[in-house]
Amino acid sequence: MRKHPSAHDLGSADVVLIGAGIMSATLASLIGRLQPDWDIVILERADAAATESSDPWNNAGTGHSGFCELNYMPDPSDGSKAETIAAQFVVTRQWWTHLAERGLITPDAFLRSVPHMTVVFGDDDRAYLRARHRTLSASPLFDGLEFSDSPDQIARWAPLVVDGREPDAVVAATRHTSGTDVDFGCLTRQLIDSSGARMLTGHTVTGIERDADGVVVRGACADGRFTIRGGHVFVGAGGQALRLLQRAKVDEVRGYGVLPVGAAFLRTARPDVVGAHEAKVYGQAPIGAPPMSVPHLDRRTVDGRDYLMFGPYATFSTKLLKNGRFTDFFATVRPSNLWTLVTAAASNLALVRFLLTELIASPAKRFAQLTRYLPTALPTDWETITAGQRAQLVTPGPREIGVLQQGTELVSSADHRISGLLGASPGASTAVPIMVELVQRCFATEWSGGWRDELTTAMPGLPASGWIA
């Protein structure tokens, strides 16, 4: 192992978590409850937790339950993906309830009930949505999902969606009243505060190395350079996760690549507009759009104030974090993943065309996308905000051709001493089952020695088999 002569030693910890976002916070809350005598350290390069993807304005705040997200069901007869997401969010909420019952978190501060709707236009999409509703209605997870193609009914659900629309326009919608709006930034901070973990801000990790005694994390902080040894190291650093796992020589990410995906939203706080729309409305993504680009009109509550937000609109940057560097993407490119990235772009020309079209679109054309869902919207009521940067995961597929992956992927080294999470949405909503899977995979002795029993008691929705074997 290399040693830096000026690095100061932060000692050791049972678990070191890199990045103070929702994933690290969730893992800290799990291990903090399961093994309260363990020392957990969180290293965060910013001066506070949840400043990147977990910040409420860097995500849509949707508690993903599959109620409204059409990208989970390209085939309206196959509801398996939507059911899996719904079941995972049930588990996530059970963990939040478990913590709340013990006075460790306050759900009213981050969780709000908001109906989830899907709105589509035209005969073909109406037929699709009707078939989707028929499929999902057969599942208990979607009990209460309503369908209508009556403008009067849809107007009662979401008046601004119908107001000002042509009388003969074909509109169809589904609605579920048990949807949620989540301030993941507030939740992240509560989870960290209640976990017993030590958080060190202003600590930028630059390398991870394994030796016979464990895993050494090194980096830079205001005092110079630092090192800390961890029994297990989890990389929850968002867009920087792949780069750190590559530097740690985790073979399991060989050939993996990431592509930067940025987004902007339109936002309004005008009271009469916000007060007339009490729903999260998702639509059908344009042809070629990436998985995270489904248009949606969201009722949001952040820091006690109500807003409407619409988007996302594609933006371009080679940064992999909102507060990252323009060299971020290039630093992840290796000979082992160059072919994966090139072939992913070549085999997704529709996506390339979509992104180029979005980037050169005029402000008027962008605003027209909003008026498709809110016909009476006025440009003077809305402002543009920059949302978070995402790292779209690309993995080698058949013949090593790069495949864009929807969702997140948990990786761990063969010795289970290093783990990390790659990818994006709907990660925050499914953070608990993902982190339970990590616990099972990387802490097998503790899992079989009592952790599993404790977690299944706290979360009855944990399956005996399925996404957690």
Q: How far is CA 361 from the centre of its chain?
A: 26
Residue type, 163: D
Q: In the beta sheet, which residues pair with residue 405?
A: none
pLDDT in tens, 377-400: 999 999 999 998 889 899 998 888
| Two tokens, residue 160 | 């601004």
Query: Does 448 fall in a domain?
Result: no
Question: CB neighbours (10 Å) of residue 363?
Answer: 9
d(CA 89, CA 67): 11
CATH number, position 377: 3.50.50.60
Query: Does 469 fall in a domain?
Result: no
pLDDT in tens, 148-192: 999 999 999 999 999 999 989 999 999 999 999 999 999 999 999
| Two tokens, residue 18 | 């890199």
Query: Does 462 fall in a domain?
Result: no
pLDDT at 68: 96
Query: Does 461 fall in a domain?
Result: no
Three-state DSSP state, 399? helix
Asked if residues 292 and 261 have their Cβ atoms less than 8 Å apart, the reply is yes
pLDDT at 464: 67
- Domain range enclosing 223: 7-434
pTM (2 decimals)? 0.94
Query: Does 445 fall in a domain?
Result: no
Residue type, 51: T
pLDDT at 405: 86
pLDDT at 292 over 60: no
Domain tally, the chain: 1
Asked if residues 114 and 280 have their Cβ atoms less than 8 Å apart, the reply is yes
Query: Does 442 fall in a domain?
Result: no
Residue-wise over 392-402: b if at least 16 C-beta within 10 A, else e? bbbbbeeeeeb
Residue 346 banded pLDDT, cuts 50, 70, 90: confident
d(CA 223, CA 229): 18
d(CA 235, CA 408): 13
Query: Does 372 fall in a domain?
Result: yes
Question: CB neighbours (10 Å) of residue 58?
Answer: 25
Question: CB neighbours (10 Å) of residue 276?
Answer: 15
